[in-house]
Each structure stands twice: as structure tokens, then as C-alpha cells.
Amino acid sequence: MPLSPRTQTPRAAHPPRRARPLRRRTAAALLASAVSVALLAATAPPTALGLGDRLFPTLGNPGYDVTAYHLDFTYSGDNRKPLAAVTTIDAWTTTDLDRINLDFAHGTVESVEVDGEPAAFTGVGEDLVVTPEEPLTAGSWTRITVRHTSDPVSADHQDGGWVRTADGLAMANQADAAHLVFPCNDHPSDKARFTIRVTAPDDYTVVANGLPTGRHRNAGTTTWTYRTKHPMATELAQVSIGRSSVLHREGPGGLPVRDVVPAKDRDVLEPWLAKTPDQIAWMESKVGPYPFETYGLLMAQASTGFELETQTLSLFEKDLFTEPGYPKWYVESVMVHELSHQWFGDSVSPRSWSDVWLNEGHATWYETLYAQEKADRPMETRMKAAYGASDTWRAAGGPPARPKAPAPGQKISIFRPSVYDGASLVLYALRQEIGHRAFDRLERAWVERHRDSTATTADFVRLASDIAGRDLGGFFDAWLYGAKTPPMPGHPDWKSTAPGKPAGTGTREGTGKSAATGKSVGTGKSAVSGSAGSGKQAGVGTRVMPGTHGVSGPRGARGATGKSPVTVGGAG
């Protein structure tokens, strides 16, 4: 059977199962020449694998390309209890496989099937290692079905993957927490389409990525089904289960916009949500058509301190919109930050986690541009302040395209200021270098060329050079990988403060207080700050008002994910 494109489902409506008799005859014919290799493979113990990502070397697995996930959850109504789950994975093999490694680190596995046949399985580290009845040959389609539990509470009672809200659950899987929820190839380089089905008590509303394809009422429960039309990275999966209201409105070109809010807060949140269609139109005027089938905001009743760009349904903490301390322009810029990620990070995803500056730098750029155009907050003021802090950021977290590896237990520490305002500063320098018109062409060409795919820093450098009509390799090497911040084109007077000296930005070191107000806002994780829309993990970061020099603070800084090894249950 010919292979469909990377993120497409198989061309046949029902891909044929492997021809087992033929494969057995082929195996018998080759047995004499392959016996020593077969014996070696049979005796090699299962081991955890990974794709070798510089920042997350054990994430992802080689040997196959996932085309589709089918996630089926059953929720009891108690967000402290594990959900019953069935995860079905459709994939093409890219090499011969005796075993299939999946990322899965928090749940009990009851059984595994490969193409409808029982398969042996075991947990090794954060991998679920599956041994099919027969080896898989390169270029074959396969379906893996895992029956398991999905636990919203980790062993040390910290949320990871699932976010427990006041009335149910939501997801926050970036960067490495999707496999706390379901077995997967948990790396953004392997995008796939998703079908998500959730059965919950009748008084709950379920919303997930994509558009609804069905709702079936059972005896006391309702089953909700959603499907994405575009491929998606595992880190961007979203499921909301709660006593929610879903608000519908129309976006540009008839785009369906739906927002999910706590039912009791509907009237308070409606004025904020009504801004989304105009914000989408504003983004389209900058970079081109919205890339997906729907959009909306999910307002979580949870003390997360972060927002997250889950595909087609961005996750927000409700308190961002209800606490009186945040000015209107700031809240709107956070909304645009997550919206812009639908182009930069979701549609065009990073090939590796070292490319995350392309996500966060662009989101911070459009957040800042929106604040300039809609609220008279000058971009140049913010960029000059970021330049002043840039050397300190690079020393603390690495340059934008080579962030330091995460510390043990703090894997999301890659989301440092250097990949937010520091990366946005690179884009500002690029616009200064090549001019506004060429920069605008580059932004549109980037999202058009790599739509529904993944891309690298090298891809961006190559495209920028093509559009500028000259080699920009040296420019990008200095700005993306240098320990020191290069001179800013057009602003020779800008200076970056040496590491160890106060830069006058973000929060006061160790206090968690806003530089602008002195108000205590969190746990004080950082002396220098990132984007207004940044921050990734519940309960451990800071939410900071923009500082006096225009550099905004992190809405959170993810810490430990609270992973625990997968429990293997049943016969394996």
C-alpha cells in the first residue's frame, strides 16, 4: 500500500491487516541466514528509547510515524480518581521493529493489542515497551490499542498533564507531560490527527480540540466526540470536563469561535471573549489566514498562573480576567500571545525543543505589536529594556536557540526569558536589519510554507536569507547562539547590562513582586522576566505585571511535572 503524506491517515478507508501467512513463509525462507540476528534480538532486554532531542533526549521514539490518535476517556465525576481510558494509535513503521516503544509514565496498563492481536508489554523508565506477536516490517501500517488508566493526581499529589479544576479537568501537556495522560510518541516532531471521545456524567460538558462530531446520551452519562482536521503535536492536546457554558460566535470568514467558561461566570467573562474575532482579524492582517477549523478560549477554574496555546482551544486561568489588578491592555496582549501561537507553534511546530524560540519569540512579538497598535505601548521601549537584560538572560538560560538543558525535576525551565523577550528581540533586530517590508513578507511566507508541519531554526534562517536576498547566516549565528548580545542595528547606543548587575526589568529577585507596583504576585522565581503570555506549569511560578521599563513578566514558570512510572497490570 502506498504511504500517504506524513500526517495523513492511510489512503485506504480500512487499511488491510498484515498478511500473516505470507509473512510467516517469508520469515521461514530467511530463517537460515537471519538466525543469529534473530536470537540476538530475542534475547535483548526491553529498554527505554528516545529521539535524542538535545533538551529532552528520552522524549519520543524512533521507528514509526503516528498518523492518528483515538483517545477514549471515561470520567466518573471525581477529579481525584483515575479515568478509564483506551488509546488507539495508527502509525506507519519507518524501519523493521521487533518492539514498539511508547511514552507513558503515569497510569496502569491493562492490555495492549497490535493489529487486533494481544501483545506483550512492560514498563521501562517512562516508556511502555510493546512486543507484538510478530515483528513489524518497514513501511507497514499498524494499529496499537492500549487499555489503561489516566491518573489526574500524581504520586506526590502534584498535577501533571491533567489540571484539576474546581469542577473537573483540563490538560496542560507542554512540554513533556502528554505521556502522563495517554500513551504516545510525545515529541512535537511527530504530529498526527486526533479523535477524542469522553464519557462523563450528564451534568458535565466536554469540549476538546477540533470540532464536535457527535454526542450520544447513555443512561446517566453522555459521550462527546471531537476530531481535529489538522495534525497536532501531543503537547497541544486539550480536553475540558466541567460544569461549563459554551459560548458560540462567528469569527472572520465565518470561522466558528467557541469559548468554554464556568457557567456561573458567563456574564462576567463574555465582554472579554467578545474581543476574540477582532483579534483573529488583526492577526490575519499580519500573517495571513487563521490556520485551523475553529478557535476559542478555555477558562479554567484553577490556580495555574499560566496560559497555554492548546490547538484550537487555548487554556487560560479564569482569574486573569476577573482579578482587578491587571489593566485591560495587558489582558488583551496575553490573549493575542496565545492566539498567535496558533500560527507559530501549533500550525508550524518546532522540529526540536531547541527551536522553541520560534514559538515564543513570535508570540511575544505579536503580543508586543498588538499592545503598541491598540494601547500605545511602544515596542521600541520594551525592546530597549529587553536589550538591557539580554546578556543576563543569556548567562542564566542560554542564548535563544540554544537554551540550557532543564534542571532535574524542572524540565520546563527551558521556558526562560531568553526564549520569550530575548527571542522577540532577535526578531526586532532582524526587522532592523532587513527592513519592515521584507520582514512582513518573511512572516507570511514562514507560516504558509510550513503550515501543518514542523520546522527548524535552519529553515527560518534559510527563508530569511532568501527573502532578504543575501546570506544572513552570520547575523543569526550571533543573535541566536552568541553568549553576548550583538549590537542592535540602528541603535548603537543601546547597552546590555553585564550579568550580575540589576537590569531594572521584570520582578525583584527572590521577592515575587512587580517592579512597577511592588505587589506580591507569586513565588519570585526569576529576577528577569519573560513574556506576558508565558509560563507553563500550575502552582509554581509567578504572575507579574509588566515592569517599569516595558518588559513584561512571566505568568508562571513550570517546575516538576510529578511523573511516576507506568504501572503494568494484567498479563504482558
- Mean of the pLDDT values across residues 397-406? 95
| Lowest-confidence segment of 348-362, 372-386, 390-404, 523-537 by average pLDDT | 523-537
- Mean of the pLDDT values across residues 301-327? 93
Per-residue pLDDT band at 449 (split at 50, 70, 90): very high
The pLDDT value given to residue 77: 96
487 within some domain: no
| Domain count across the chain | 1
Task: Give the rounded distance of the alpha carbon of 462 from its chain centre.
Answer: 25
Helix (H) or strand (E) holding 28: helix 20-43
Q: Rounded to an integer, what distance in angstroms lies between the CA atom of residue 369 and that of residue 375?
A: 10
Strand-pair category, 453-455 with 348-350: parallel
The pLDDT value given to residue 7: 33
Residue 326, C-alpha cell as written in the block: 491587571
Over pLDDT 70: what percentage of the chain? 78
Q: Could you tell me which residues come within 8 angstroms of residue 323 by beta carbon, excluding any fewer than 6 positions away?
A: none
313 within some domain: no
Return the CATH number at 94. 2.60.40.1730
Length of the chain: 572
- Mean of the pLDDT values across residues 319-341? 96
Specify the higher pLDDT residue, 550 or 436: 436
Backbone torsions φ then ψ of 231, nearest 5 degrees: -65, 155
pLDDT tens digits along 369-385: 999 999 999 999 999 99
- Mean of the pLDDT values across residues 84-112? 97
- Does position 157 have pLDDT exceeding 70, yes or no? no
Cis peptide before 175 (omega within 30 of 0): yes
Task: Give the rounded distance of the alpha carbon of 381 from its chain centre.
Answer: 30
198 within some domain: yes
Strand-pair category, 297-300 with 314-317: parallel
Q: Rounded to an integer, what distance in angstroms lies between the CA atom of residue 413 and that of residue 417?
A: 10
Closest CA to 532 of 516, 291, 300: 516
Mean pLDDT, rounded, of the chain: 84
The pLDDT value given to residue 359: 98
- Give burial (CB, 10 Å; 0-12/13-18/19+) of 290: buried
- Does position 181 have pLDDT exceeding 80, yes or no? yes
Q: CA-CA distances (angstroms) from residue 498 to 322, 390, 419, 477, 507?
A: 39, 9, 19, 21, 17
96 within some domain: yes
Q: Rounded to an integer, what distance in angstroms lies between the CA atom of residue 565 and that of residue 525?
A: 28
pTM attached to this predicted model? 0.84
pLDDT tens digits along 252-305: 999 999 999 999 999 999 999 999 999 999 999 999 999 999 999 999 998 877
Residue numbers of the domain that contains 7: 1-242
- Mean of the pLDDT values across residues 219-226? 98
- Does position 507 have pLDDT exceeding 60, yes or no? no
| Lowest-confidence segment of 17-26, 125-134, 425-434, 467-476 by average pLDDT | 17-26
449 within some domain: no
172 within some domain: yes
The pLDDT value given to residue 548: 29
Task: Give the rounded distance of the alpha carbon of 84 from its chain centre.
Answer: 24
Q: Rounded to an integer, what distance in angstroms lies between the CA atom of residue 504 and that of residue 550?
A: 10
For 453, the 3-state DSSP assignment is strand
With helix as H, strand as E and coil as C, how does 222-263 read?
EEEEEECCCCECHHHCCEEEECEEEEEEECHHHCEEEEEEEH
> Is the CB of residue 566 less than 8 Å from the CB of residue 101?
no
- Mean of the pLDDT values across residues 162-171? 95
Helix (H) or strand (E) holding 67: strand 64-74
- Identify residue 492 by its one-letter amino acid code: P
403 within some domain: no
| Lowest-confidence segment of 216-225, 355-364, 541-550 by average pLDDT | 541-550
The pLDDT value given to residue 380: 98
Strand-pair category, 64-74 with 127-131: unpaired
List b or e across 488-512, with b for residues whose CB sees 16 or more CB atoms inside 10 angstroms.
beeeeebebbeeeeebebbbeeebb
- Mean of the pLDDT values across residues 360-368? 98
77 within some domain: yes
Q: Rounded to an integer, what distance in angstroms lies between the CA atom of residue 265 and that of residue 319?
A: 11
Q: Rounded to an integer, what distance in angstroms lies between the CA atom of residue 441 and that of residue 399?
A: 26
